Amino acid sequence: MMFLVRTVMYFFLLILFLLSLSAIYTAWRVQQISERFEPDGSIAEIDGVDLHYHFTPGRDPDPERPVLVFLHGASGNSYDTRLAFEGAFSGRYPLLFIDRPGLGFSERSFARDSSLEGQARLVGGLLKHLEIERAIVVGHSYGAAVTAVLGLIEPDRVAGLAFIAPVSHPWPGGVDLYYRIAALPVVGPLFTRTVTLPLAERLAPAAILRVFAPGEAPEGYAEAINLPLLFRPRSFRANSADIAFLKEDVTRHSASYHELDQPAVIITGTDDTVVWPSIHSEGLLRDLPNAELVVLSNGGHMPHHTHKSDVVEALEKLVDRIESTSRKEGDRGKVASKIAS
């Protein structure tokens, strides 16, 4: 009996020792990451939260020109969407790339902003702060779910919607256990300050291969998007909360998608194994009254990188649809004004 007690005690002491080492390593790596990566965009305080973003004005000074607003997916930041789209659209349109709350260099109020609506309201507040009256919002994966809610709460400001490899509807099953653990109160902060960083660093290469399959990531992708920012405990916990609460959120908001009458495009790959196109993309096509679907052969979950030219072309067509509609409405307004006079 004493031998068993001693064995159990030694086991728990070993676990405690390993967790202590992991906590020390995590604190050291967080310090390194903080010193290596610094914000290089602008920061605006919106409802008490600092949001980090990059804004690039277009060459055309026309105030009616829509701004392309990009919202990245889970486990990422705005450097992912900048890498994909800035070169293609710079100078042609005003561009806004946002670090979603809690990720990249943006902050969040954990209790308030760990929801689609909380994040959509902060993004909407940033658009108002920047005096952006006409936006075409482009969301990837989790960012697509935020895009849909933003379109619902800011219908006059959001002129168009683009969904890339979207998650938008409830799906069978749940999410990985470690996301649910990291999102818990008390346990979550302890978990992310000890276990997650050393594991995430080692599992990241395999995760990148998975999300890009059957394509390949751009060379130097992890470095280009400042991926280590995700491994910091507060960012990892924020990302985990996004994913842990997502199914409940989309279940609630998807009932209102029929109200999204803005022109929209849905872009999905035939081989996306991260989200189910048959549930999300086809669900959006069914629910949105003014949407078009673009299906990319051999496309995985990152088509904005692996099928960039196809995605850019689809976005350009969406912009043309919106501007054509705007011109027609303007012409009708002029005719009505002449008749009235």
Domain that holds residue 271: 42-167+253-323
Query: Considering the domain boundaries, does residue 5 fall inside one?
Result: no
Query: Considering the domain boundaries, does residue 233 fall inside one?
Result: no
Query: Considering the domain boundaries, does residue 76 fall inside one?
Result: yes
Given a contact cutoff of 8 angstroms between Cβ atoms, the answer to whether 283 and 338 are in contact is no
Query: Considering the domain boundaries, does residue 105 fall inside one?
Result: yes
Element of type H or E holding 49: strand 49-56
Query: Considering the domain boundaries, does residue 309 fall inside one?
Result: yes
Task: Characterise 166 by phi-psi region: left (phi > 0), alpha (psi -120 to 50), beta (else).
Answer: beta
Query: Considering the domain boundaries, does residue 26 fall inside one?
Result: no
Query: Considering the domain boundaries, does residue 267 fall inside one?
Result: yes
Supply the CATH number for residue 153's domain. 3.40.50.1820
Interior/surface letters 172-201, b for 16+ CB within 10 angstroms, e for the rest: eeeeeebbbbbbeeeebeebbbbbbbeebe
- Compute how many other C-beta atoms are within 10 angstroms of the C-beta atom of residue 15: 10
Q: What is the count of structural domains for the chain?
A: 1
Number of C-alpha atoms within 13 angstroms, CB side, residue 97? 23
Query: Considering the domain boundaries, does residue 192 fall inside one?
Result: no
Q: What is the pLDDT tens value at each position of the chain, 341 positions in all?
A: 665 556 656 556 656 666 678 889 999 999 999 999 999 999 999 999 999 999 999 887 666 789 999 999 999 999 999 999 999 999 899 999 999 999 999 999 988 889 999 999 999 999 999 999 999 999 999 999 999 999 999 999 999 999 999 999 999 999 999 999 999 999 999 999 999 999 999 999 999 999 999 999 999 999 999 999 999 999 999 999 999 999 999 999 999 999 999 999 999 999 999 999 999 999 999 999 999 999 999 999 999 999 999 999 999 999 999 998 766 655 444 444 454 55
pTM of the model: 0.92
